[in-house]
């Protein structure tokens, strides 16, 4: 059940990803406004660039969280968890996604690490939202 709960929590990362994608697209569109002949203050361009960079970092974290969510869901459905764990570790090692073919961590520790990724994803979104609000509030002041 622990693995199922972890998989369900990690699945919420998709909702965070959608919001981040929307903010990134708006920032990208606003940042590209000079291509249409609309002048954009240098500070506005910088803020938009920072929003897009945060969006890319968020996307990277979202991909990792989504992968973990699928893996935890798969492992929760397995009856022989120790064998499945070994197969998972070996597959991740073979794909160069892990430094070694074995991992001594238990599933509680692995769950905490995966949820740490979800927290980082949430923090990245919070920074993006804060920067977006700061940008919206300062645009009238910077031109």
CB 16 within 8 A of CB 125: yes
User: Is 70 exceeded by the pLDDT of residue 96?
Assistant: yes
DSSP label at 34? G
**Cα 127 to the chain's mean position, in Å?**
13
- In terms of residue numbers, what domain contains 64? 2-142
Q: Which residues contact 114 (CB under 8 A, 6 or more apart)?
A: 6, 10, 65, 68, 72
pLDDT grade for 1, boundaries at 50, 70 and 90: confident
Compute the distance between CA of residue 104 and CA of residue 126 in angstroms, rounded to an integer: 33
Q: Please, what sign has the CA dihedral across residues 124, 127, 131, 137? A: positive
Number of domains in the chain: 1
User: Is 60 exceeded by the pLDDT of residue 109?
Assistant: yes
Question: E strands within 14-139?
Answer: none
């Amino acid at each position: 059940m622990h693995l199922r709960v972890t998989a369900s929590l990690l699945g919420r990362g998709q909702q965070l990803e959608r919001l981040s994608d929307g903010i990134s697209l708006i920032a990208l569109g606003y940042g590209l406004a000079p291509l249409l002949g609309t002048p954009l203050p240098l500070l506005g361009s910088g803020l938009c660039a920072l929003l897009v960079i945060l969006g890319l970092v968020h996307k990277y974290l979202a991909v990792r969280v989504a992968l973990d969510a699928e893996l935890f869901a798969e492992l929760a459905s397995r009856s022989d968890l120790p064998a499945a764990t070994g197969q998972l570790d070996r597959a991740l090692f073979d794909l160069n996604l892990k430094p070694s073919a074995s991992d001594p961590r238990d599933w509680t520790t692995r769950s905490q690490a995966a949820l740490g990724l979800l927290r980082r994803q949430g923090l990245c979104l919070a920074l993006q939202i804060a920067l977006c609000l700061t940008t919206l509030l300062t645009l009238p002041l910077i031109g």
